[in-house]
Amino acid sequence: MPNLIAIVGRPNVGKSTFFNRLLQKREAIVDSVAGVTRDRHYGRSDWNGVEFSVIDTGGYIVGSDDIFEGEIRRQVELAVDEASVILFLVDALEGVHEMDREIAQMLRKTTKKVLLVVNKVDIHARQADAAEFYELGLGDYFTISAQNGSGTGELLDALIPMLPETEDPDLEEGLPRFAVIGRPNVGKSSFINALTGQDRFIVSDVAGTTRDSAHLRYQQFGHDFILVDTAGLRKKTKVHENLEFYSTMRSIRAIESSDVCFLLIDATRGMEAQDVSIFSLAEKNRKGVVVLVNKWDLVEKNTQSADVFKARVLEALQPAMDIPVLFVSALTKQRLLKALEEGMAVYQRRKTRISTSKLNELLLPIIEAYPPPSIKGKYVKIKYITQLPTHHPQFVFFANLPQYVKEPYRRFLERQLRDNFDLTGAPVDIFIRPK
């Protein structure tokens, strides 16, 4: 499974600034409502060729009756439970705070690796001041400045060796990986149980029954691949308000190690914001996606029901295009094998290789007939197209003025690729480069 790094600490110690530093982005992670932690608080980073994911949690607050602050506390506890390594950020300017002591007490109880990180050490004179944080009982610390980046290299050098191995070659080598993702209680475990014909995973009406992401090798009906069940948790009654945050973390871990994602949505509830959020995670990681509308047997239907429902799903997923949508039932096993076949088809499409000659032969006449709009009296001419040797379809269009090719025309090019080549469900990237 991919490694997850959690950044925890009380409010205003610089967690979001440090998060941005690790992701090498300048986008501030700020929200006016405390405790709103969604997919934009998650990101990918790497150091010396080792990739890992980062979760930016809300500020941990002790002794408050505010409902949002209570949710933040629980989110931090969940992040600590899920993370491979925890980075505990404190503030060198304010020194040891009572909330720092409370958080340290919680972290001393975990068996996870914890690194104490003293932030805002912008000048050498503050190095000595950081020594007071020894009283937290977490051992040696690292001094950094999230603002200017000093000290982060030494911190990451120490962090990388602590990450566990992410590969299991005996189980996973060369096999397609399919992640079953979705918000809590949409029937993910029921879906896998129905596929295998065994009650491999606990199923209940309580959202979040599944505790861990479970790996299962599927070898039936001519298929051979790895299934990953993701979702909530068992024996964690304190997490009721945070199932969305938790399911997002579980989905992150499954999505990153998969090739294709089965996104299950509840037919009785329709496409909801959390479904779109989880889809965005899969899209951001450039995975193949098949949308499965589960519990279709519970819906009162007419001849138009499926078409209307599918149109609503695809509208919610825009600007993503060409996503397969199937209507299934884990209870009655309706279209489950069709779902597997579509997943395998998307896996093959994700590996599609198109010859340069065929690309140019089919697309250049279309581009010539419908060229990019002129900007400031300048005309863009696309002369050549080729596919990059990457894990999913990526194409380079060579042009005389690539800076003038805007997003709407990129979507037009993607649509032409999908119309002329079978890429349904597969991610497609388009780059415009100087000829």
Residue 25, pLDDT > 70, answer no
CB 163 within 8 A of CB 50: yes
- Mean pLDDT of the chain, nearest integer: 81
Give the highest mean pLDDT range of 128-132, 211-215, 408-412: 408-412
Q: Which pairing describes strands 260-266 and 325-327: parallel, antiparallel, or unpaired?
A: unpaired
The closest of 15, 39, 36, 16 to 26, measured between CA atoms, is 16
**Residues contacting 81, CB < 8 A, separation 6+:** none
Q: What is the pLDDT of residue 398?
A: 96
Give the integer Cα–Cα distance in Å for 63 and 252: 31
Q: Look up residue 95 and give its amino acid.
A: G
What is the side-by-side strand order in the sheet with 382-387?
A: 382-387, 394-399, 429-434
For residue 330, what is the DSSP state?
A: T
CB 11 within 8 A of CB 61: yes
139's tokens: 């051992």
What's the helix, strand, coil split of the chain in %, to 5? 40, 20, 40
Helix (H, G, I), strand (E, B) or coil at 380: coil
Residue 355, pLDDT > 80, answer yes
Residue 190, pLDDT > 70, answer yes
For 135-162, the pLDDT digits (tens) are 999 999 999 998 888 999 999 999 999 9
300's tokens: 């009162």
Dihedral over Cα of 211, 427, 265, 348: its sign: negative
- Cis check: omega of the bond before 371, within 30 degrees of 0: no
What is the side-by-side strand order in the sheet with 113-119?
A: 42-47, 50-56, 4-8, 85-91, 113-119, 141-143
The closest of 242, 211, 214 to 78, measured between CA atoms, is 242
Cα 353 to the center of its chain, rounded Å: 26
For 62-121, the pLDDT digits (tens) are 555 544 556 566 667 777 777 889 999 999 988 998 888 988 888 888 888 899 999 999
Q: Look up residue 369 and give its amino acid.
A: A
Q: Which pairing describes strands 113-119 and 85-91: parallel, antiparallel, or unpaired?
A: parallel
Give the integer Cα–Cα distance in Å for 314 and 324: 9
Residue 207, pLDDT > 70, answer no
Backbone angles phi and psi of 386, in degrees to 5: -150, 155
Helix (H, G, I), strand (E, B) or coil at 204: coil
The closest of 28, 27, 4 to 159, measured between CA atoms, is 4
Dihedral over Cα of 371, 373, 377, 381: its sign: negative
Give the integer Cα–Cα distance in Å for 30 and 32: 7
Q: What is the pLDDT of residue 62?
A: 56
CB 119 within 8 A of CB 13: yes
pLDDT band at residue 255 under the 50/70/90 scheme: confident
pLDDT band at residue 29 under the 50/70/90 scheme: very low
327 bridge partner residues: 293
Radius of gyration of the chain from its Cα atoms, rounded to whole angstroms: 24
Give the integer Cα–Cα distance in Å for 385 and 395: 7
Residue owning tokens 């997002």:
248
Residue 201, pLDDT > 60, answer no
Burial 102-135 (b: 16+ CB within 10 A, else e): bbbebbeeeeebbbbbbbbbbeeeeeeebeebee
Q: What is the pLDDT of residue 51?
A: 82
For 316-337, the pLDDT digits (tens) are 998 888 899 999 999 999 999 9
